[in-house]
Each structure stands twice: as structure tokens, then as C-alpha cells.
Structure 1
Amino acid sequence: MTDRPHAADDSPELEDRDYVALASFRHALRHFLAFSEEAARAVGMTPQQHQAILAIRGLSPREGMTINDFAERMLLKQHTAVELVDRLEAAGLVRRARDAGDRRRALLTLTDRAGELLEALSRAHLAQIGRDAPQLIEILQRMSRKDGPARS
């Protein structure tokens, strides 16, 4: 990743409506993230725990996920991912088991408790997305028009 945003030299000059659209999009994202964080806390989890179990369930629900895949999915360094998995295991949310095909690899799977919590959280999140979708779609449509970020 780069520290600076990429801008094409030939891109049109930004207008007030571009900034309004970006601010609206960012606000909508923050609104959803605030909902998500509160929902996780309401069931006794941290937002990071929720994100972690969703990543594991969403990427490899049956066979399990390697620590490397987990680190990549969570945008974490390897050692940070291992520490998070240690905490998830201690909280009774994740199991770590050796891969039968390659004993050097550890696979992460969810516990039954994590699965139950994740299902409840996912239902609530999908309902919230349904409520937020019309606004998000409208913002994204404004931002993705062919002739510029928020131009009509």
C-alpha cells in the first residue's frame, strides 16, 4: 500500500458535489461500522473477535483456514494474527488443529459457540444492510458515473 492516494494527471477537477458524495459515503460506512461494533459488544464479543470469526467462516467454512490466510484476510502481520488466534482460542471461539494432509499447517475452525454468536450477528448485520442499502446504492451510483465521481 502507498501512503498517498493515487490520482490520474488527466482526471477532472473535483467539485463540491464530489466532496459531498465522499463525505456521505464515509459517513454511511462509519454508521454501519458503529452498528457492527455495538452489535458485537451486545453479545459479549469485541468487534475484532466478530471480524475474525466472520473471516474464518466466510473464507473456508468447512475445511478451516490457515494462519497465513487468516492474517491476510484480517490485514495483519503473521505474529499479530497468531496472538489474535491465541486470544480467540482462549475465549472459546476458535479451535486450532493440525491439517491431516500437511501436519506443518494449523487450521482454524469455529467452535459451536462462535457459530451461534456469528449467526445471530450475521442476521442483525444483514437486516441493517437491508435498511442502509438504498442510501448506499444511491451514493455509489452518484460516485461511479462515467463522466466523473459525482457528476450527473
Structure 2
Amino acid sequence: MSDDALSKQDFQRLSHFRYQLRRFLRQSEDFCRDHDLTPLQYQLLLHLLGFEGREWATVGELAERLQAKHHGTVMLVDRCEQLGLVERRQSRDDRRRTEVHLLARGAELGRRIAKLHQPELRHLQEEFSLPGWPELS
């Protein structure tokens, strides 16, 4: 076997990781649907709640966090704005920049759904910090 060939254990580790990730995402999708949000709408709220150092983000920053195209993120912000979850504000520092801010309803929904994720996050933390979980070389 060459140095760059993957072992059976490598495939098992990757398969297990993808399985656990998919379980988490499916459960998250269910939580979102139960609260009349799409998973992307929830992710937008989550990224605004969790943006480091401030309580808002630009569309470009949100697009990066969502790994989405700029125009798709603009459409997502439009939809969230129509639902009363976020609002756009012109930056006080740079009038060319538009900030996306959470409204009270968006913050409350984001917090409620994030709280539902905590048991599964604890499970994943335990799952991937077990002594038997092999380190990547």
C-alpha cells in the first residue's frame, strides 16, 4: 500500500464522521421545520447570534459563513427581513456598508432552536473525544 493510500480504518472514521454529521443535520432540519424556518434561515440567525465581536454582520460575511453565493445570501436576507427576523441598517462608520441585524423575533427563534441542539452537541462532543477515536496522522 502506498503512503497516500487510505486504510480501511480511514474509511471507517470518515464514514462514521459523515454519519454523525448527517444525523445532526437531519435533526436540525426537523427543529427548523417545527419552528416554520428553513435550515438556511436558522443558520443565518445562528451566525448573527454567534458573530464574533459584534451583534451584526454584512451580507458578504454571512455568505462566507453560509458558504453561499452573495446573491443567494441577499435573497435569504430579503426573505428573513420579510418574516420580521432581521433588518438591514446602513453602517454609521461606512455609509457604503449595509449591516444585517437581528430583530427580537429572530433572536428569540434562533435561541430557541439553538437550545434544542444542545443535547446532540454534547453527544457529538463525547463521541469524538472518546479515547478510542483515532487521531488523524
The TM tier, using the shorter chain, reads 0.7 to 0.9
1:25 paired residue among 17, 30, 33: 17
1:38 paired residue among 30, 44, 47: 30
Q: Counterparts of 1:139 and 1:71 in 2: how far apart (Å)?
A: 36
- 1:129 equivalent to 2:121? Answer yes
Q: Which runs of 5+ in 2 are unaligned?
A: none
Aligned in 2, Cα 1:12/1:62: closer, same or farther, shift over 3 Å? closer
Q: Counterparts of 2:124 and 2:59 in 1: how far apart (Å)?
A: 33
TM-score normalised by L of structure 1? 0.80
Q: Counterparts of 2:96 and 2:10 in 1: how far apart (Å)?
A: 50
Q: Which runs of 5+ in 1 are unaligned?
A: 1-9, 147-152
Q: How does 1:137-152 map to 2 (within 5 A)?
A: 137-138=129-130, 141-144=133-136, 146=137
Secondary structure in 1 matching 2:43: helix
Runs of 4+ in 1 over 4 A off after TM superposition: none
Please say if residues 49 and 55 of structure 2, whose CA atoms lie closer than 8 Å, have aligned partners that are also in contact: no
Deviation at 1:60, TM superposition (A): 4.8
Q: Counterparts of 1:102 and 1:36 in 2: how far apart (Å)?
A: 36
Please say if residues 64 and 108 of structure 1, whose CA atoms lie closer than 8 Å, have aligned partners that are also in contact: yes
Count of residue pairs the alignment pairs up: 136
Deviation at 1:138, TM superposition (A): 3.5
Deviation at 1:133, TM superposition (A): 2.3
The structure whose Rg is larger is 1
Task: Please name the residue that 1:79 is paired with.
Answer: 71
Task: Please name the residue that 2:58 is paired with.
Answer: 66
What do residues 72-96 of structure 1 show as CA deviations (whole Å, max 9, x unaligned)?
Answer: 1111222111111111101111110
Deviation at 1:132, TM superposition (A): 3.0
Secondary structure in 1 matching 2:113: helix
Identity of aligned residues (%): 33
Answer 1 or 2: higher relative contact order, Cα 8 Å, separation at least 6. Answer: 1
**Counterpart residue identity of residue 26, structure 1:** R
